[in-house]
């Protein structure tokens, strides 16, 4: 037997993919806007791609279209209040870097910086934008992936068991659960 679920919540219920991230984009004056984004999915292949949904009304959407590149910075479980603030306030009104006391590190291949407080960072270049009903779907190439040295395996891999990231699922925020198996399944 099945029970109906309110369709209005459908998108939020289905979120349980990528960890919650702060998306950083360079502004015209050289400052950086940062915004919380849950709607993103990596795509396998060569190059690896990332699909991300950003509402047209968000300041970030304008900047992303103008700049064509951005960084994705994954938040840790200790950064919940920062993820909340960056997901409530708009860069149109406030400097979120300042109110959240965030710091930057230079990226390798894009103009937007990495956020120092976030231990895992992706650099992306936008290749396609699909506009639909007030939502933009940004398709990007992943051009670099960086991890804090405390989480590096010393070669070119990540100590995934030590990653402490946040997941937005069913309208709530979760920490990562334990690894239940090595390998794909
Ligand atoms: C947990 C969480 C997840 C969010 N996910 C998204 C998202 O996937 N796409 C989006 O456009 N906005 C999302 N938001 C809302 C934006 O972060 C919010 O509208 C923000 O104020 C936009 O800032 P900006 O105007 O500086 O771009 C999310 C907010 C929170 C709190």
What residue segments make up the domains of the chain, in order of their start? 7-175
Q: Which of 35, 84, 112, 133 to mutate to test the pocket of ligand 1 (most atoms within 8 A of CB)?
A: 35
Nearest residue (CA) to ligand 1, atom 31: 87
Please state which CATH number belongs to domain 7-175: 2.30.110.10
The reported pTM is: 0.93
Q: Which among 29, 30, 33, 28 has a CA at the least distance from the CA of 93?
A: 33
> What six digits make up the tokens of 148?
């804090």
H or E element at residue 67: helix 59-67
Ligand 1 pocket, residue 68 CB under 6 Å? no
- Which of 64-68, 108-112, 163-167 is predicted least confidently? 163-167
Segment 54-67 mean pLDDT:
98
Q: Which among 129, 165, 160, 169 has a CA at the least distance from the CA of 21?
A: 165
Q: Which among 163, 148, 157, 137 has a CA at the least distance from the CA of 50?
A: 137
Contact 75, 82 (CB under 8 A): yes
Segment 13-29 mean pLDDT:
84
Has residue 157 got a pLDDT over 70?
A: yes
Has residue 141 got a pLDDT over 90?
A: yes
pLDDT at 45: 87
Has residue 21 got a pLDDT over 90?
A: yes
Segment 161-169 mean pLDDT:
90
């Amino acid at each position: 037997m099945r029970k109906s679920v309110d369709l209005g919540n459908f998108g939020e219920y289905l979120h349980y993919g990528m960890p919650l991230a702060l998306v950083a984009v360079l502004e015209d004056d050289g400052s950086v806007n940062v915004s919380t984004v849950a709607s993103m999915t990596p795509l396998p292949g060569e190059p690896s791609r990332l699909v991300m949904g950003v509402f047209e009304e968000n300041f970030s959407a304008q900047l992303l279209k103008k700049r064509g590149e951005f960084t994705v910075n994954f938040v840790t479980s200790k950064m919940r209040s920062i993820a909340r603030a960056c997901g409530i306030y708009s860069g149109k009104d406030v400097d979120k870097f300042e109110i959240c006391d965030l710091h930057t590190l230079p990226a390798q291949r894009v103009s937007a910086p990495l956020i120092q407080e976030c231990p895992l960072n992706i650099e992306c270049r936008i290749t396609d934008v699909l506009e639909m009903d007030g939502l933009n779907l940004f398709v990007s190439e992943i051009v670099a992936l960086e991890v804090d040295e405390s989480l590096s395996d010393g070669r070119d891999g990540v100590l995934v068991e030590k990653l402490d990231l946040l997941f937005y699922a069913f309208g709530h925020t979760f920490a990562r659960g334990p690894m239940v198996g090595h390998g794909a399944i």
